[in-house]
Structure formats: C-alpha cells, structure tokens
Structure 1
C-alpha cells in the first residue's frame, strides 16, 4: 500500500526523520505493509498519478492542501483515498472524523471502508474545504511572507497578517449568480464552501456532512474596519446575524462570479492562486471515495 507523505506538512515537518519509521510501525501494527515515501510538496502530484495506475487505494499524509492535491487528481477515478492527518489544521479530516492519532489513522487507512464525498471546483481547480476572495487570500499571502521572514509557526504568523489585512481593508465589487440571475454585491470577503459550514455557537466553521451535493455561499456585507472586527468576533462566537452581516447567503449547486478585472486572487484550501474571471464554481457530488469511519 503506497503511503505518500508531504514532508513539508505541519506535523510531518515537526516529526522530522523519525516519521518514516513511525508510519511504517503504525501500518505494521495494523497488519498492512506500507511503501512509505517521504516527498517534497512539489513531488506529490507525480507520485499520486503513478500510484493511481497501480493501486486501488492510496494513503496521503499531510494537511488540507495535500488532500486537495490528491482530490485534483483522483476525483472521478476508481481509486480510494485514505488520509493520515499530518498537517497543521486538518479541517477536512476532522469533518470526516478521521482520527489524528497516527496508530488509529493507520488502522483506518488499512482496514476502513471508502465512502463517496463531494468535491468542489472552480475553473477546473478542485478544493475539499473552501474557496475565498478578498480578505482571506491577502491574509494567507501576508502570513506566508511573515513565516518566511521570521520563521514563525502558521498560527502565530496569522495574527499580524490578519491585522494587516483589516487595516488595508478593500471591498470587491462583484456580480454573483446562484441560478436566479446575477446580483451585484460589495463585499470584503466572499466564501464558498464545499457543503454547508455552520455559523452556530459551538460548531462554527465545521460541517455536519460533506456529501449533501451543495456549495455554501457567504458574502460578508460592506463594513467599516471597526464593524468588520466586531463581525469577526461575533462570528467566532457563533453570534453572526444572518440578515445583517451577509450581503449574500445560500446553498447552490453552481455559482458564477464576475468582476471588473480580468483575473482575481483566490484562496483554495489555504493555497493562494490567481484565476481568470469569471469564476465558475460547481460541485462534484460523490466524486471522491475517501476512507472514513
């Protein structure tokens, strides 16, 4: 069984040279023989493509960006994806209740059953969690610059990056069409989720399901800097006002976003890309088979 590890992922990088032996031991304990490959992030795609021609199940070890890279290549194929959550946040694995404990995750990867999950797509780029335009791509780009410059961990670098993004607040004038005709919006942040993300207290930012066949759309209303900071605090506590805080809110199977420029910056599962406008989102219902509890 091929186990492809992004050695640059959060937990993988922290574990260092010990990780390969730890993963092999975890699969041995699960009664499976693992072909463990420690790979740089830019070598994962080729390794996944090769493995997909030889094996019915591939194990990917890394974070959300690594899983999204696998989804880009495996969606629509008769190959099962198993996940070892070795990133920093592991949102997708957590929403599927895949254990973060290495021994338990290896046991599931070796013996568990694969079930279909949805994958979202925009202009041919697939994502498993969410896509966003506006504040968040700016925050990610700034965070990465701080990490490179100061060597800070991701969570710490995000603090000054978030403040910088709000201090340079920019609103996007867009037209969005969820199937009922294009509507103009002015928003600092457009968020498109692969299935519905909760806004409720106690479950903010999580999903009950990843196989409902819907995109969730959240466009934050035009706001001043203090109002946006206040919204961010309330949203984190599950106290967002659905009527006042959002210029657009809803579920859809397809979404088109137009703007005045030829291209736009967008974050896909935390990776910043520059894509051509219009942005054409769609959901690939049940397009990826993932091993899960």
Structure 2
C-alpha cells in the first residue's frame, strides 16, 4: 500500500522502526549550546515559489542571520522544473554524513517533503516558514519572520516530535480524503487566478465546501471496533493548533502521540454554512453532522482501489486500504528553547479570531 504523487513529483518516506537519535541541544543562552551549533553545518533548502515569497529578499534575510563567525551554511534554492525530491535527498544525505542539520524554507508542502527525508535518515530538521498558513511552524512556536526563524537555528533546542503516516507517507499537519481533495484543487485554481493570499484560500475552501461532493461509504477499523459510515470527508489531524481551531474539546483530549479524526456526515448547504460558522468559532463539539474520535492508529477503506488523499496540502494517490499511524517522537526539530511547544493559547486565540472573520465573510458571500 503506497501513495503516488499526483500534483507534484514527490514520494513517500518509510516509517522508522524506532525514533532516530539526534544531536541534543541545550538552551539558547548556554554557551555550550551555541558552541555545539557552531560546529554543525546548516543546509537550507529554499522553495523559491512558496507562498508568493520574494526569494531574493527572503534569502538575504536568512543569509544575514547565518553569516556569523563559526557558522558553516549553504542555501540550496529549488526552482521550477527542478527535481525537488532528488535535491532534497542528496542534501539530507550529506547532512547525515557530516552530522549537520537540514532546514526547510517554504510552506507546509515543502516542509513535509524535507521532514519525510529527515525522519527517514535520522537528520535534525530546522524550519523557516514561507507558506500561506504555516500550521506546523506555528504549532511549534517557530516565528513566521524569516530573520527570526533563521536566528532560531542558532539559539534553539532540538525536540523530538511525533508524526503521522498514511500508507508510509508522512504528514505533519493533516491527511484527508473526500471533499477536502476537491477543496485543495479549487484552492490552487483560485490562488493561480487571484494570488496566494490567506483570504483567497479561505474563500475558496468555503465555496468548495458549500458545493459539496457525492457521499460515499467508508469502513474504518479502530482497534477491535469496525465502523461503517456514510460520509463526504474523513479528516485526520495531528497538529495541536489545527485541532484546537476545529474543536477545543477534542484538542484537550487528543494526546501528544495521537491524532484526531473528523468524519463529516452528508449535509445540506444550510447545514454546511452553520457547520462552518461553528467551526470558525471552535464550537464543533457534539455537532450532529460531525463525528470525532482520537486514536494512534486506524485503517479505512472504500469501494475504490485507489483514494486521492490530501497530505499537508498536497494531493497524492494512495492504494486502498488506507493505514493511518502515529510514529512517536520520530522527528527531531529545532524549536524555541524557552517555549512550551505543546501549548500556545495566545497564538491559537489570535489566529482563530482572524480565521473566524474570514470564514464568516466567505460564508455570507457564497450564500
């Protein structure tokens, strides 16, 4: 059971048998921490087209922060038409041989690809976010500003985090099938026409959700229990920030090494508007059209031999049945040393307010 890329030339990474060992970092104000990082090479993989970023300005900010005595770094720029996966693999292999770290500079799709390679080969990951939503970086408390995120590479600590897999393909934020694949296709079309802005993405998503998709039957095995459901979408998330935005109560009960599963029942257009508004204000708990549960593993199948799955915003074609798993503490990521990465209430509240306004406006426009 494997996933083959549809939208981009990407491939799956295998789940490690056990968490790989990573270089332990100490706090940002420790001279020992700085000394260790200075002895480590830093390779930055920059996706020049992520999130409408100006690649030259972005690169200058990163270079300025990393250009300090004793720091060895290089920047590998991914341009349109190049083999992202092969370049990424070679970069991670070099870091593996030298004991260096690899930094993904781009959106969630870019970070997903590099993270999969780092997890597979046991290399520490750094992140400089440059996408539209940047859920993964925000969940870990990594700054959105390129300069601040680059500075963190020299002052942060390495933390082992859990990651999700669907048929051997890593996901850091979510994996979904059904209606969400239609949402992503339409979102990319709208972004190509109107620009890669958050409001465009939110508006496109709302319009796609209101138009709906034909319901289908899905069988899910969770532990010893078999669930048979008629649904339009199955959405799986292992990102605490994203789960909290959907349902605060579910977020509270989802363990660090678990994932939240949302099963959407068929709805009318009016019920979908109501559901979207409730979701915007994080009030989805006990909604009659949304079934939720938490688990660390489950299998699912439909009547089709292949399923188009959205993995961290990228559509991949997976052979059925689908197997979802959590690999506990399998990936080392550089995070702020002074921040508890499991709890960012201010960031969650602030972003929920922003997204709520966008969803409410898009819902009014669509109806």
User: TM-score w.r.t. structure 1 length?
Assistant: 0.88
Contact preservation (8 Å) 1:199, 1:240: no
**Equivalent residue for 2:179?**
135
Question: What do the CA deviations read for 1:232-288 (whole angstroms, capped 9, x no partner)?
Answer: 1111111213252323x2111111111111112211111112211111111111111
Matched, 1:186 2:230: yes
Point out the more displaced range, 35-44 or 271-280.
35-44
The match for 2:195 among 143, 146, 152 is 152
Matched, 1:70 2:110: no
**Equivalent residue for 1:265?**
308
Distance 1:108 1:122, change over 3 A: same
Distance 1:145 1:54 in 2: 37
C-alpha RMSD of matched pairs (Å): 2.7
Contact preservation (8 Å) 2:49, 2:55: no
Give the drift of 1:91.
Answer: 0.4
Distance 1:147 1:214, change over 3 A: same
**Equivalent residue for 2:66?**
27
Distance 1:256 1:14 in 2: 38
Q: Which runs of 5+ in 2 are unaligned?
A: 1-41, 337-367
Matched residue of 1:255: which SS?
strand
Contact preservation (8 Å) 2:44, 2:102: yes
Question: What do the CA deviations read for 1:41-97 (whole angstroms, capped 9, x no partner)?
Answer: 653322322222222211110111111101221214331100011111110000000
Matched, 1:176 2:217: no
**Equivalent residue for 2:358?**
none
- 1:200-215 alignment runs, 5 A limit: 212-215=256-259
**Equivalent residue for 2:261?**
217
Contact preservation (8 Å) 2:78, 2:84: yes
Matched, 1:4 2:48: no
Contact preservation (8 Å) 1:95, 1:209: no
Question: What do the CA deviations read for 1:162-190 (whole angstroms, capped 9, x no partner)?
Answer: 31442243222101111132211112221
Distance 1:268 1:205, change over 3 A: farther
Matched residue of 2:229: which SS?
strand
Distance 1:207 1:21, change over 3 A: farther
Matched, 1:15 2:59: no
User: TM-score w.r.t. structure 2 length?
Assistant: 0.71
Contact preservation (8 Å) 1:20, 1:38: no
Give the drift of 1:210.
Answer: 10
More strand by share: 1
Distance 2:63 2:249 in 1: 33
How many positions carry a matched residue from both structures?
Answer: 289
Matched, 1:106 2:150: yes
Distance 1:265 1:152 in 2: 25
Matched residue of 2:223: which SS?
coil
Question: What do the CA deviations read for 1:135-188 (whole angstroms, capped 9, x no partner)?
Answer: 21101111212333x243253155245314422432221011111322111122
Question: What do the CA deviations read for 1:26-50 (whole angstroms, capped 9, x no partner)?
Answer: 2125963421121136533223222
The match for 1:229 among 255, 263, 273 is 273
